[in-house]
Amino acid sequence: MSRSLSAVDEAFRQKAVDWLDGHVADFGLPAREGLSLEQDVELARRWQKVKSENGYAVISWPAPWGPGGTVTQQALFATEESKRGFPAGHLVISLGMPTPMVLRYASDELKERFVPPAIRGETLWAQLFSEPAAGSDLAGLRMRAKRQGDDWVLSGQKVWTTLAQFCDYGVCVARHDPSLPKHKGLTYFIVDLKAPGVTVRPIRQLTGEVHFNEVFFDDVVVPDAYRLGGVGDGFKLAIETLMMERYTAAADETGFGPTLARFIELAAETPGVRGETALDDGGVRAEIARTYALQQGLVAIHGRALAEMSAGRTPGPEGSIHKLASVRHRQHLSTLALDLLGPDGLRQAPGVNPKTDFHYSWLDAPTLRIAGGTDEVLLNTIAEKILGLPQDHRPDKGVPFDEIPS
């Protein structure tokens, strides 16, 4: 039993592990071998339905939406699920950020309409925040929202929108008043991604796959009922959404890449010098030891965050440290694995997964050093929130957005 878990949470974890183990063959890593992204997303939707029928879909959500478990139990389940390679990652955004925001801020009628199908995986939701000129500096976004009677008209462009090509709805932030300082003139909306005027254009990545998209809004009409929060509350709600993202991003100490055990297997299979294997090499062994020590640190940080949540407190900036270290470490371990594989490391097998394949993991790792907060932004968080260093210089603070040079 983990030192940080209560007996109740440990019993929950064990029951979940038994249940998950019974579904690995149909929905876990073995079932995903060779699937295209589209097929994998389809599998994820079916897996979500099975979870929703067994009380595991949205564990920490209160009745009537979920079974009212704790956030700790939700995190424990997600960690065990991730270890076994279930395709739940495809729904992390949909159920992790936009739908909880709908639950917090939409009318009862909209909650009834939107939330149950999302929980069952029948609808998928996207997060449309980033734009070509707004990422880390989210408050710099330019998409316009103009009031027109009972509606709003949205025009502009979003980018890097994960899985938008499969999504039905999304949450987005747009600028309703450019004469206000940049953080103040923003408003938050639900958008129907099938509405007239929305164009989703996929972006192909280094791996050859298409995980994210550009999304263009060409005078898209959005009812005022789809506004979440007050006019001008967009930045506050966006930060609330991103805080959920930081947390969900921080559950796997491998950085969502192949395990250390897999690297050790690879080293044992790779011929070394004088008839030995790579596993006998001092340099390789030192890297294994270093990685093991780092992972133990990450497990401890995660355990601390779980303990904080069990005690009803919000975890602090541990999520930033966890994401920073785990994703960098995944990239490092994948690079070492490519060294061991030699020319074979350059071969890309179709339908592999970043959790099992070092080549794919190496190609994909840089994306996670950007998504959900770049390394530099996380370092700023650590500097300001943990080390108490002074804030970044913010020369545009309080300046009307339309007076900021661009």
Ligand X SMILES: Cc1cc2nc3c(=O)[nH]c(=O)nc-3n(C[C@H](O)[C@H](O)[C@H](O)COP(=O)(O)OP(=O)(O)OC[C@H]3O[C@@H](n4cnc5c(N)ncnc54)[C@H](O)[C@@H]3O)c2cc1C
Residues binding ligand X (CB under 6 A): 93, 127-130, 135-137, 160-162, 212, 367, 370-371, 374, 376-377, 380, 392
If the CB atoms of residues 71 and 365 are measured against ligand X, the closer one turns out to be: 365
Nearest distance, CB of residue 15 and ligand X, angstroms: 33
Nearest distance, CB of residue 201 and ligand X, angstroms: 14
If the CB atoms of residues 66 and 373 are measured against ligand X, the closer one turns out to be: 373
If the CB atoms of residues 174 and 371 are measured against ligand X, the closer one turns out to be: 371
Nearest distance, CB of residue 250 and ligand X, angstroms: 15
- With CB atoms as reference, the residue minimizing the distance to ligand X is 135
Nearest distance, CB of residue 372 and ligand X, angstroms: 7
Decide: 381 and 317 in contact? Cβ < 8 Å.
yes
Nearest distance, CB of residue 132 and ligand X, angstroms: 8
User: Residue 404 phi/psi, 5° resolution?
Assistant: -80, 125
If the CB atoms of residues 121 and 354 are measured against ligand X, the closer one turns out to be: 354
Tallying the residues shown for the chain, one arrives at 406
Nearest distance, CB of residue 284 and ligand X, angstroms: 30
Nearest distance, CB of residue 231 and ligand X, angstroms: 21
User: Residue 172 phi/psi, 5° resolution?
Assistant: -145, 160
If the CB atoms of residues 180 and 370 are measured against ligand X, the closer one turns out to be: 370
If the CB atoms of residues 162 and 310 are measured against ligand X, the closer one turns out to be: 162
If the CB atoms of residues 159 and 279 are measured against ligand X, the closer one turns out to be: 159
If the CB atoms of residues 112 and 392 are measured against ligand X, the closer one turns out to be: 392
Nearest distance, CB of residue 279 and ligand X, angstroms: 33
